[in-house]
Structures are given as C-alpha cells and as structure tokens.
Structure 1
C-alpha cells in the first residue's frame, strides 16, 4: 500500500506545480496549433506527389525530347505536380538552383532523342538544390524510367531486325521485312510512348497525414520526454531535504520506495498523454487513428520508457540545476534527433540510423503509423524497444539510488 501512497503524493505535487502544468500540458497544445497550421502545406494530405519546379536546358529540338518534356513531365498525371522552367544555358540553370528558383534541373545533350533510338545513350546532366533531395529523386526516377524504356525499345527493334535479316536467306518463307519492321517499331514505340513515368501516385492502403496530425504526435512525444527531468527533480528535491533518506530508513521496503517514485512519474505521464490526445482531438480535430487500443498501448509503452529514464537520471544526478541544464539540453537533442521538430525523412540516412537512440523516435513512428492505419505486428518493434529501454533504465536507476 505504501507504493501507491508514495505515487499519489508525487502526483499531487506535480498537479499543484504551475510550471509543470504550463510546460507539460499547455505548451504542447499551443505549439501543435501553431506548427500544425503554419506547416500544413509541407504535407501532402491528398496522397499526391509533392510539388516541384524543374529547370531544363535543351540545346536542340527532336521528337523524343519534346515527347518527354510535354507528354511525360507535363502529362495529365504530373502536370499539377511538376512546373517546368526553360533556361538557355547550363550556367543559367545553376544560378537558378543556387537562388532557389528551381528544385532540380536537367541539361539535355545535343540531339539526345535521336541518339537514344540509335543506341547512343548520352546521359542527361542532373542538378539539384542540396536541400531538395525528394524533388530531385522524383525527377531523376522519371527521367531514368523514360530513358530505360526508350533504350529497351531501340535495342529490341535492332535485335529483331538483325535476326529477321539473317534468317531470311535460310528460310523458304517469304517475309516482308519492311512491313514487319514497321509494324514492330510502331508497337514498341507505343510502349515507349505510354504515360507510365516510373513514379505512381496512389495510396498504399494507409491514410495520408495532415500537418496538424504530424505535429500533434511530434509535440506530444517531445513534451512527454520532459517528464524525464521533472521526475528526476522530484526525487532529487526529496534527497536534498532528507525526505528520501527518512523513507529509506523507515520500515517501508526499498522496492516500494523506488516503485512508488516510478509509478508517480508513470501515472503523471499517462495523464499528460491522455489529456493531450483529447485536447488536440476536440480543439483541432486531430485524428489519432481508428484503433484506440493501439494508441493506448503505444502511450503506455512510451510512458514506461520515459519514467524509467527519469529514475536513471535521478540516480546519476545530485543537483536540480544540473538536471535542468543537462536534462533540458538532452531532451532538446533527442527531440530534434527523433523527428519531433523536423521530419526524419529530411535527415541524411546516417543520421536517421543514429536516431534509433531517441525514445521519442520510436514513439513518434508508432503513433504516426497508428494514425495512418497499421497492423499490430508493425507495432511490435517500437513497443518492445520502449519497454526494454524503460526496464533497463529503471534497473540502473534503482541500483544507483541504493548507493546514496
């Protein structure tokens, strides 16, 4: 019974703390409203491709180049997403990219289309804005897809033509080579001229996220992380006032004291998560997904991990100021690294792998998946990582607290 008494006492202290209320409950709601509204345009809410501006330099006109520019890049499927801007020279294109006027650029070699049909594949020069990896990737994929189709058609036409030519003298059949080659060329050209562009915009069975949804999940994950410092400070305050020491020498078991402190932080974290979900849903219409049980599981797992980290931090720190400074900086670093400030997709691949050390990365990823609609199996990894990290942190923290 002592365990629950200690936990309830800590919860009441936290609820009476105005600073905790503003920091952990009010601020995430305000930031969600600001970021969700201001940055909603960054997210494609209808499942379409993101908009991009492509600069092109064409030194000579030919039928195939015109077809790629007008029928593919400006076809009905891509016209709304891709804006083309023509430049006279490569230098002009480079300057436009540096000035941020275009996201990516293509410089076509002289008589590029004619060369493709002859089997002379002269590569197109591609340029990009260093901060626009996604638009460049899309433009690059479309270009490579078109080039590969045309190259395949050209090679197939020449190969079949050579085979037919070499087989005619041996065969007794009468073959109209010119008619056959013309028919083959027309059919293969139809394939090359198809509207398929290598990038298909369609739903993958999951609902696209809005900016408000993303930043609701991101701000929730970030501010729940602040419970590591708040929970640690509660223990350090009691240690400095000798309250913890008196508890340690009382008949109350050490495990009950540690468990009560852990349970207090865990309960407040769960309360914070619950209030935040309800507030953002009813105030801003945030859709947290159709599976409430999945959301509850993820909230519990993340709260468990954060509460364990609070115990570990309390075990290693002795001063409140140290917790405020180191813990505050640490939370901000983890928040940035875990995608709570900037979507992880914007990070380099190496940094995305390093982000695995941030508990909010696993929580945010799981919550976003729940919002889009996911299976229980997909949540196994993030939930397991969060629970295990919480257990290890709690164990380390309890060992360190024994020594004090």
Structure 2
C-alpha cells in the first residue's frame, strides 16, 4: 500500500508542479466563469471589468415584464461600471447614432417580446419567440459584442427560468398540491426568485476541465513508458498492480483536488452557496471517479501520449456539449439531452444543481449512483484492456 501511495503522490505532485497544466485546469475554468459572470451582470459594481462605460441605447417597444427585467438589468447597478445606458424612443434615430459611432450598440426590445415567454394558460404551449435586435457599431466590434452577449444571455436565462416554472407548475397541478386558481400566484412567486448564472457556470466549467485534468494524468502512463520511467519502477520491488493502482489513484486524486479547489475558490470569489457540504463532496468524488474511468479507457486504447491528448480533447469538448457545460440540457432537444447521459458532466451537474437548490442528500442519490456505475463499468473495461496489453504498456 505504501508503494501504491508513493506512486499516487508522485503523479499528483508532477501534475500540480506543471505551471501550464495548473493554468489550464484551475485558472481556465475560473477565467471562463468570471467572463460569463461579467456578461450576465452577476458581479457587484465594485468588480469593474477592463472594458467600461460602454455607451448603449435601449429602445423598449414592448413594455412587458420581461422587457422591464432586461431594461433593469442593463441600467442597474450590477452593470453600472460596464455599461453607460440611455433609454431612447426613436429606433431610427438610435440606429443612426449607432452607425455614426456615437454609441457602441443599440438594443431594440420589439413589441411582443415579453409575450413570447408566457405559455398559453390552457394548453401550456409557448408562442413563437420574438427575438431581441442588437445593432452594433462596426467600429467597436468588441464593445458591441459585450452588449450582444448580455442580451443573448438574458434571453437564455429567461427561457430556462420559464421552462423550470412550467415544469414545477405542471407537477403541482397534476399532483393536486395546488388548485388551478393558485397556479398564477405560485408562478409569479417562483419567477421572482432570480437564478444566479454563476451557480450554473462555475460547476459546468469545473467539470469541463475535469475531463482535461484526467487526460493529463492518463497521458503520463504512456509518456513514462516511452521515457523509461515505468521500466525503472518495475526494476524496483514493486508489482505491476501497484504501479497501475498508483497511477489510477493519482489520476483520481488529481481530478478530486482540482474540483475541490475550484469549488472553494468559487465560494470565496463569487459567494456561491453550493448546498450540503457532504453532498458536494460526494458529487465531487463520484464525478472524479467517473472521469478517471474515461481517462483510463483513453489510455487503454491509445498507443502513445499524443493519441491520449487527441482523444482526451475530443471527449472533453463532446462531453462538455452533451453534458450541459455550455448550454443546459433542456435547451438542446430531447435526443441530445438523452445522449448526455453517457457523460459524467450531465450527472454531476444534476447533483450540483439539486444541492444548490437547497435539496438534501436524497436528491443526489440518482446522480451519484449513475456516476459510480459509470466508473465501475469503465474500470472493468479498462482493466480488461490493460491485461491484454500489460507487457506493452508497462514495459514497451
């Protein structure tokens, strides 16, 4: 056991002494989360971004609740250091000022924008959405892009929130927990509880880079074989099982530490409430185990460290897309949402979201069980492949 632990700690030390690796797996997700926080107005005004006081005109032709919410966001204190908004009534005049370069962008909220988020009270169906129109100054593409990103993210958050409320109200109605007359008031109360997008994107980005972290760990198995390090290990009084066991434990521990550090940093930097601490640890551990399983499978089917890197990067991106690291699964369609079940990202996000919503340990039983089952299946498959290639992998 001591030899296995020594190999494990050696691999973890190698991983976290690599400045480039640490920048990718720790700083990378934090930077992406901060960027998403800036465009969603999730930071206090004291956290001033580098780009500041972007002049933007707002033309509200709708006047509905969602239009008011967007206007409040653009003109509110959270974005006061980022935007310099001005309400405008004449769309043509606003566009002329944008073309002339007087302002970076004009946001037009068309009539019917708010109605596009409100389901039919009889059928529950949503009407065709009415899209926002954002016009940018060609001479200020970056500043116009920031305004466009904020508007698009608001729309995505609104759509996600409406879908969540719809599902909850349908459940209340079908279970008899609420009468039809009570549903509108309940829906309004739920809609007033604004969701902090950082609570979604922080774990989403951490899970995206978790796959990359385990790929780095798996790559050491083949790179050390090429460099002769494994041969020197085996020349010492250590068994093949201890070597492989130490490698597996090192990959898992590296992924676990990465996730835990990101959780702690996001709690401190973004004031996020992750929910039940024990539940958070269980989700982190099970997600790291499942990701380790995928990392081992990649190493088992690869012949060199370059293949590990290529396959790992491909899986990282595919799992990020299918698992909801970029867009919530409910917005991708039923087919892609079901396909996301093969990814550790999807199940871990389910667990983190349940805990962030205030649910207890019973709410994460299914996600944790799915992650552990995934890890077990992948470990069994990888072990079988390693046994077939044992002499090749460990000796070369």
- TM-score interval (norm. to shorter): 0.5 to 0.7
Question: What CA distance in whole angstroms lies between the structure 1 residues aligned with 2:234 and 2:61?
Answer: 68
The partner residue of 1:328 within 310, 313, 324 is: 313
Shift of 1:219: 1.0
Q: Residue deviations 1:282-329, cap 9 Å, x none?
A: 12222222x111101111111111112211111111122222222212
Give the aligned partner of residue 215 of structure 2: 229
Contact persistence 1:217–1:367 (CA under 8 A):
yes
**What do you get for the CA RMSD once the two structures are aligned?**
3.9
Question: What CA distance in whole angstroms lies between the structure 2 residues aligned with 1:25 and 1:82?
Answer: 33
Residue pairs, 1:273-312, within 5 angstroms: 273-289=259-275, 291-312=276-297
The partner residue of 2:298 within 313, 323, 341 is: 313
Shift of 1:363: 0.6
Change (3 A) 1:350 1:21: same
Gaps of 5+ in 2: 43-59, 72-107, 117-121, 132-151, 167-179
Contact persistence 1:231–1:311 (CA under 8 A):
no
Aligned residues: 290
Name the TM-score, length of structure 1 as normaliser: 0.62
Contact persistence 1:128–1:136 (CA under 8 A):
no
Change (3 A) 1:212 1:138: closer
Change (3 A) 1:395 1:244: farther
Q: Which has the larger radius of gyration?
A: 1
Gaps of 5+ in 1: 42-52, 56-72, 84-98, 107-120, 143-191
Residue pairs, 1:123-162, within 5 angstroms: 127-128=128-129
Contact persistence 2:298–2:311 (CA under 8 A):
no
Question: What CA distance in whole angstroms lies between the structure 1 residues aligned with 2:363 and 2:68?
Answer: 34
Contact persistence 1:25–1:272 (CA under 8 A):
yes
Q: Residue deviations 1:57-107, cap 9 Å, x none?
A: xxxxxxxxxxxxxxxx97xx9996799xxxxxxxxxxxxxxx98344879x
Question: What CA distance in whole angstroms lies between the structure 2 residues aligned with 1:33 and 1:79?
Answer: 26
Question: What CA distance in whole angstroms lies between the structure 2 residues aligned with 1:319 and 1:261?
Answer: 16
Tell me the SS of whatever aligns to 1:201.
Answer: helix
Contact persistence 2:214–2:295 (CA under 8 A):
yes
Question: What CA distance in whole angstroms lies between the structure 1 residues aligned with 2:353 and 2:67?
Answer: 30
Question: What CA distance in whole angstroms lies between the structure 2 residues aligned with 1:223 and 1:327?
Answer: 11
- Of structures 1 and 2, the one with the larger relative CO (CA 8 A, separation 6+) is 1
Tell me the SS of whatever aligns to 2:187.
Answer: coil
Tell me the SS of whatever aligns to 2:325.
Answer: coil
Change (3 A) 1:264 1:79: closer
Tell me the SS of whatever aligns to 2:265.
Answer: helix
Give the aligned partner of residue 261 of structure 1: 247
Residue pairs, 1:341-380, within 5 angstroms: 341-380=326-365
Shift of 1:401: 2.2
Residue pairs, 1:1-400, within 5 angstroms: 1-40=2-41, 101=110, 102-103=112-113, 127-128=128-129, 197=184, 200-203=187-190, 209-248=195-234, 251-289=237-275, 291-400=276-385
Change (3 A) 1:127 1:28: closer
Change (3 A) 1:315 1:195: closer
Change (3 A) 1:248 1:214: same
Q: Residue deviations 1:245-290, cap 9 Å, x none?
A: 454565423322221111111111111112111111112222222x
Contact persistence 1:54–1:82 (CA under 8 A):
no
> Which sits farther off after the overlay, 128-137 or 261-270?
128-137
Change (3 A) 1:247 1:392: farther
Contact persistence 2:220–2:305 (CA under 8 A):
no
Question: What CA distance in whole angstroms lies between the structure 1 residues aligned with 2:162 and 2:293?
Answer: 42
